[in-house]
Amino acid sequence: MITNESVNQAIDYILLHIEEDITLEDVAAYCHFSKCYFSRLFKAQTGESVYGFIKRVRLEQSAFRLKTERQRSITQICADYGYSSSNYSSAFRLHYHMAPVSFRKNSLSRSMEHPFFHHESWKAESFEECSRKVVLKNLPDYHVIYERRFGSYEGLGREWERFMGKYEEYLTENTLFLERTYDDPAVTEEGKCLSDVCMTVGEDCPLDNTVTIKGGACMVYRFKGHAKHIYAAYQTLFLVWLPRTSYVLDTSRSLFDIYYEVDSRRTNMELDICLPVRH
């Protein structure tokens, strides 16, 4: 778990400005620390240098867009992240051990292997089936207590149990539980997936680890079923639904889930998958 709020603020800053030419100096200055001190603090909390984190996230976000924005060329996508075609190809090969064109071509087969339930096979819904479950909504902002972690999304069930016990005094009949995810586990190494477990509170909550999750225009997919099938729902949205619509993900906002029902073993679930979008 990432417990230092300055590091969390730095991560938020990096994610918001990932398409810009940001440096260690920029991030340290944003957090009001010297670059030497902040470098040590960031690596102690995340296991990565600031530079390494920025480089990795740029490549992984570009890879995700190769997968979902098929109408755009590889040259256009790599330029969004400040790469020339030749530099991008070299950096991409070092990270994924294949060329960007091969990654795009094989994105479906790469996504078919479930990252957590390794012996489970899954089948994508058709575009029509998925569309019947997706509704465009204008969601409110959510002020939340949150805790952030690096690691497999598979372990989030245990995190929820601990989180809800820790902040039990802030629970009310109107509390909503949200899970904010930043990575596609078919693109990002399982142990480096970033996520926040969250619960809504009033803006007068005295805790330091509070933040506002931006709402706005979201495509909302209602999921009902076993936890192991959430991955298939996300991949259907990414691989089947999103590429055939006029919508693209709004990278200035986070993807998040809103939970309505979870049994004690975190198996049968009902939740909304909320994708922030723009035309």
The overall pTM is greater than 0.85: yes
pLDDT of residue 161 exceeding 80: yes
92-114 pLDDT per residue, tens = 999 999 999 999 998 877 777 76
What is the CATH code for 5-105?
1.10.10.60
Nearest to 123 by CA among 114, 115, 131, 132: 114
The answer to whether the CB of 269 falls within 8 A of the CB of 227 is yes
Where does the chain have alpha helices with state H?
A: 5-16, 24-30, 35-46, 50-68, 74-80, 85-96, 100-105, 107-112, 127-131, 156-166, 230-236
Reported as a single tens digit per residue, the pLDDT across 165-197 is 999 999 999 999 999 999 999 999 988 999 999
> Which pLDDT tens digit goes with each residue over 13-66?
999 999 999 999 999 999 999 999 999 999 999 999 999 999 999 999 999 999
Strand partners, 117: none
Range 130-278: architecture per CATH: Alpha-Beta Barrel (3.20)
Distances in Å between the Cα of 229 and the Cα atoms of 13, 267, 276, 277 are: 32, 10, 21, 23
Question: CA–CA separation, 255 vs 18, rounded Å?
Answer: 16
Residue 117 phi, psi (nearest 5): -95, 80
Q: Is the pLDDT of residue 264 over 80?
A: no
Element (H, E) at 220: strand 216-226
CA 99/CA 274 separation, integer angstroms:
31
Cα-flanking dihedrals φ and ψ of residue 87, to 5°?
Answer: -65, -40
**At which residue do the structure tokens 């957090």 appear?**
31
Q: What is the DSSP letter of 208?
A: S
- At 117 the pLDDT is 63
pLDDT in tens, 113-123: 766 665 666 77
Domain residues of the chain, as ranges? 5-105, 130-278
- Pseudo-torsion of CA 230, 243, 119, 181, nearest 10°? -40
Q: What's the N-to-C CA distance of the chain in angstroms?
A: 35
Provide the β-strand partners of residue 268: 226
How far is residue 142's CA from residue 140's CA, in Å, rounded to a whole number?
Answer: 6
Q: Which residue do the tokens 């990414």 mark?
A: 238
Average pLDDT value over all residues in the chain = 91
pLDDT of residue 263: 62
The first and second tokens of residue 58, run together, are 């740029």
Copy the structure tokens of residue 128. Answer: 């029509």
DSSP letters, 174-199, are T--EEEEE---TTTS-GGG-EEEEEE
- DSSP, res 75: H
Are the C-beta atoms of residues 195 and 181 closer than 8 Å to each other? yes
